[in-house]
Amino acid sequence: MTGQSARTGHRRRALLIAALLTGATLVALMVGLPANAVMRWMLESSIGRVTVVEDEAGGRRTVYWREYPGVAGVDSRDVLDGPSAEEAYAASEAMTARMRAAITAEFGLEWAPPASAEQPFDPFHERTQNWYGGESMLTTVNGPTSQTIGVPTDWSDKERMLEIIARIAADYGFSAPTLDADSWDWTEEDRIRDLGGATPEEQVIVAGSMMGPTGQWMFFTFQDLSKDVDGRFERDLAPSTEHGWQLNTFSFGFGANALLPEGDEAEFERRLAPFEGLEPPEPVET
């Protein structure tokens, strides 16, 4: 580093620390927290998690987890051993095609054209954050939404539709379906207000998910306005039809939060090397 660049770097660091101190003091005054506690949080958010590693010779190196190429909570070896983002998306297209064919065969339902809200369609999105204060090398994938035209009104038929997609999803390593209302801490009042009823048999909206390998997932939703006793759901949902969304429908779609794009394997392993054998820290709160 030249003398000029070193001085520039020192000046930038001094300005950064001054800005952090000023910000910490202002936030502390606003929320009544000690300035040093806010300062610690701001520095942690800026720097991310850090591990100091000591080798056999007594030397030390600092590992900055903001540079971690993976994502907190997802084993990076599983990422490397699993499908690429492109492979997982191709498999999801085959899986959802099987689901649509099976539902049509049993229930005679047709499928709506792609919603204009999802056009133009690109399943691959920006790199995800690693939850240690930096950006990972992994990408988010979102498949298109499949929507039936019409939906059965009996809960037994809806359960059968869930059995169909669950059987097919299991071939691709997905878990059994779980309903959001069972997974989340909702009171009966919450369910009536947000879903239209206390039980699935009564609800306008029944939604849930199936979890797959390496951060993959499937969502599903039943939307049945025959259960809309006061018409408020139809009023709220009607504008969405202008963008191709169905009112009475069974919909589902694929997504993934932590998949590596094709061709990035070698670079991922290179960036992963400094973290091998280390205990991952707790994610940084955002």
Domain membership of residue 203 (yes or no) is: yes
105 lies in the same domain as 242:
yes
Domain membership of residue 59 (yes or no) is: no
How far, in Å, are 96, 164, 235 from residue 169 at the CA level? 9, 9, 34
C-beta atoms surrounding 63 within 10 Å: 15
Predicted local confidence at residue 60, as pLDDT: 87
Domain membership of residue 270 (yes or no) is: no
CATH of the domain at 86: 3.30.2030
The closest of 130, 100, 111, 95 to 215, measured between CA atoms, is 130
What is the C-alpha separation between 178 and 176, in angstroms, rounded?
7
Exposed, middle or buried: residue 36 (CB in 10 Å: 0-12, 13-18, 19+)? exposed
Predicted local confidence at residue 9, as pLDDT: 36
Predicted local confidence at residue 209, as pLDDT: 97
Confirm if 95 and 169 have CB atoms less than 8 A apart.
yes
122 lies in the same domain as 247:
yes
How far, in Å, are 79, 121, 124, 243, 246 from residue 240 at the CA level? 37, 18, 24, 6, 8
Q: Could you tell me the pTM of the whole model?
A: 0.78
40 lies in the same domain as 138:
no
Range(s) of the domain holding residue 2: 1-47
The closest of 222, 219, 210 to 161, measured between CA atoms, is 222
4 lies in the same domain as 42:
yes
The closest of 190, 188, 191 to 206, measured between CA atoms, is 191
19 lies in the same domain as 89:
no
Q: Positive or negative CA dihedral for 78, 177, 217, 161?
A: positive
CB neighbours of 102 closer than 8 A, spacing ≥ 6?
A: 164, 165, 168
82 lies in the same domain as 198:
yes
Predicted local confidence at residue 28, as pLDDT: 40
Exposed, middle or buried: residue 134 (CB in 10 Å: 0-12, 13-18, 19+)? middle
Tokens matching residue 45: 């958010």
For the chain (286 residues), the mean pLDDT of every run of 10, in chain order, is 35 34 40 51 63 82 94 92 96 98 98 85 89 94 96 98 98 97 89 96 98 94 97 96 96 94 96 94 82
Predicted local confidence at residue 10, as pLDDT: 34
Q: Which helix (H) or strand (E) holds 250?
A: strand 249-259
Confirm if 111 and 149 have CB atoms less than 8 A apart.
yes
- Tally of domains in the chain: 2
Predicted local confidence at residue 221, as pLDDT: 98
User: Phi/psi at 101 (nearest 5 deg)?
Assistant: -65, -40
What is the C-alpha separation between 254 and 118, in angstroms, rounded?
14
What is the C-alpha separation between 112 and 145, in angstroms, rounded?
10
Domain membership of residue 274 (yes or no) is: no
129 lies in the same domain as 206:
yes
Domain membership of residue 132 (yes or no) is: yes
What is the C-alpha separation between 193 and 191, in angstroms, rounded?
5
88 lies in the same domain as 227:
yes
The closest of 233, 169, 160, 178 to 202, measured between CA atoms, is 233
106 lies in the same domain as 42:
no
Predicted local confidence at residue 286, as pLDDT: 61
What is the C-alpha separation between 137 and 85, in angstroms, rounded?
11
Predicted local confidence at residue 46, as pLDDT: 57
Predicted local confidence at residue 27, as pLDDT: 42
